[in-house]
Chains A and B, each alone.
Chain A
Amino acid sequence: MNVKNESGALFHGVGINNGCVSGKLKFFQRGRTGVEIIADMPSAGVPDVERARLERALTQLRGRLSELYRRTLADVGEQEAQIFEIHAMLLEDEDFTESLEREIANGCRAELAVQNTAQQYAALLKGLDDPYLSARAADLSDLSEQLCDLLNGTERRVQEKGGEPYILVAEDLAPSETVSLDKSEILGFVTFGGTPNSHTSILARAMGIPALVGVGEIAPRFDGCLALLNAADGSLTVCPNESQVRAFQIKQREENELAKEHERYLRSLINKPAITRGGHKMLIYANVGEAHEIEPALLNGAEGIGLLRSEFLYLSMDRYPTEEELFESYRDIVRKMQGKRIVIRTLDIGADKQIPYFDLPREENPALGFRGVRICLAREALFKTQLRAILRASAHGSISLMVPMIVSVEEVHRCRRLLDECCAELQNENIRFDPNLEFGIMLETPAAAIMSEELAAEVDFFSVGTNDLTQYTLAADRQNPQVAEICEENREPVLRLIAQAADAIHRHDGWIGICGELAAELQLTQRFADMRIDELSVSVPYLLGVREKVTACK
């Protein structure tokens, strides 16, 4: 992957975090990793002696793991810290300790006992069908190497204190090594292997260290050379010439200043409407899954909520929530909105979202199975409980109701009928609700897009779920790395379906929003403006960036 230039070498990898750093490369030296099985001491292999050595090393490692856990919890986060909790549990596991004892009783040196045991279980995990569990083999190797180092007295020196900060180069880094990196001494790191999803990348991202992974081998002769690491474009320039260094320094300074300047500018946009230069106004809404996300959304200029995933209460309970519980939670959320519109999507479970007490049958192909509105229409009592709760909450603010996974006009009629029944019931019971509540559908199946003319006559709005629309249109699961590229590279069919739906709903005086991930893709904003999309709903971190992009559109 490297390209020679006149003075050094250029490498490319996948960048983690943005940022430009320059410094000397330092190749990571592990302590002795192979075990030398030589009887260098007369006592080597004597079970009592080896047992005592191992016990000492295990105690030290337990202490180190709890330190790593505390440190990661404080510096990075709980999710990441749990890696070390699992390491500690593996160490305590009886299968592991019994195997160690067996090896030692047989006259093995402690190091060999550790290696044999770790290898045996690593092989077992590697053989499992599940990619996550096979990846845990690496955790066992990490533990095994740490134990051997403690037994040998060889410390894996990740860095020497007091030297000048440097860019660390390694074949790969174990999680325990990554979090041990002292951020004050390390500018960034580069690994030959690794993927954006490996533990190391996840930790680096959370720690905010610029890094490049999957760079391929870097020759050891570059150890100690000056290098320029640009995580934003994934490049590493080794032994740069003077003009490259100067250009890089300027870029670094500019990036810092630009970042600050840009942040100030974005903040200034918060209360300004998002209007293209051509005069098309787009509402910038937020997608939220829980009540506590509403405040940050409003603080970042959300003009409404374009998608409230109403499953949250169902997911947090071990039984069906009652109408009263649902009503109270929706009402509290609506009150937080200060009169701004909130689009509540009715239950969308099934497929990747499962709730045990729903007792749904196991399906061969859940994405094409019993999910979303299909469940609601098959279990009317469940659906009506939610509809009544949403209707009652609508008396306290501006709610729009939206139904997921629609494929036909017939389904819309059935939903409408149930909604009308709920309205009539509430009226009879003298319970307040908003009689003008907007009713819309998620546009996330090709069928709905193709039938958009007929559907537009029945509803007040469409909201495009681009994630599902993409996978159903292209017959490619974007979570499957082998076909994810198909989803990335074929936007056009999806965009044409959206354009067709936008025309249809506008002819019927309705509005159309986009709440899938494509809404946050800035290179598509112009296209959406051209389609006269009325609203873009994105997660909180993207709110200001999208707002800025709209104002820059033609």
Chain B
Amino acid sequence: MKEFTYRIEDENGMHARPAGKLATFAKQFSSRITVKTDKKEGDGKRLLSLMSLGAVCGTELHFLIEGDDEAAACEALERFCKESWCAESGK
């Protein structure tokens, strides 16, 4: 199992668009991807599940990745969070 933590910098938090992008990106991996906050837990490949986390700016998202491609998935997801998500919120 691989894991990493990402703090949401987007001032809008886990809104529909970033959640949708994250879910779409996560779907390319076969590993099971779980996203936890200190209160809730969601499926990283599912939009509604991610939105229901109610994660706001500053929330720490703890990613747990388990499966055949966990190493690649972990690295790619961490990069995705830092690059794509932030670039998105820069607008």
Instruction: Identify the A interface with B (CB < 8 A).
Output: 82, 85-86, 89-90, 92-96, 121, 124-125, 128-130, 132-133, 136, 139, 315-316, 318, 352, 354, 356, 362
Contact = CB atoms under 8 A, between A and B. Distances in A.
Nearest to B15: A132
Contacts of B17: 82, 86
B5 interface: no
A136 B16 contact: yes
Interface in B9-53: 9, 11-17, 20, 23-24, 43, 45-49, 51-52
B58 interface: yes
Given A93-B46, A354-B9, A318 B82 contact: yes
Given A82-B17, A318-B86, A356-B9, A128 B48 contact: no
B48 A133 contact: no
A114 to B, nearest CB: 15
A95 B49 contact: yes
B56 interface: yes
A356 B83 CA distance: 10
Contacts of A124: 48, 52
Nearest to B57: A354
A133 B86 CA distance: 19
Contacts, number: 68
A93 B56 CA distance: 21
Contact of A89 (B20, B49, B87): B20
Contacts of B87: 316, 318
Contact of B48 (A90, A132, A318): A90
Interface of B: 7, 9, 11-17, 20, 23-24, 43, 45-49, 51-52, 54, 56-58, 82-83, 86-87, 90
A82 B17 CA distance: 8
Given A130-B13, A133-B15, A352-B11, A93 B48 contact: yes
Given A130-B13, A132-B12, A354-B9, A89 B58 contact: no
Given A93-B46, A129-B54, A356-B9, 11 more contacts: A89-B23, A89-B24, A89-B47, A95-B43, A95-B46, A121-B52, A133-B13, A133-B51, A315-B90, A316-B87, A352-B11
Contact of B20 (A85, A130, A139, A352): A85
Nearest to B86: A356
Nearest to B60: A362
Contacts of B9: 354, 356
Most buried by A among B9, B15, B43, B47: B47
B11 A354 contact: yes
A136 B34 CA distance: 23
A132 B54 CA distance: 10
A356 B58 CA distance: 11
B56 A130 contact: yes
A136 B20 CA distance: 13
Sorted nearest first, the 10 A-B pairs with minimum C-beta distance are A128-B54, A95-B48, A86-B16, A93-B47, A356-B9, A89-B20, A315-B90, A93-B48, A362-B58, A356-B86
A251 B41 CA distance: 59
A403 to B, nearest CB: 23
Q: Which of A90, A354, A356 has the most B CB atoms < 10 Å from its CB?
A: A356
Nearest to B85: A356
A92 B45 CA distance: 11
A90 B47 contact: yes
A136 B51 CA distance: 10
A136 B45 CA distance: 19
B53 to A, nearest CB: 9
Contacts of B47: 89-90, 92-93, 95
Contact of B54 (A92, A96, A130): A130
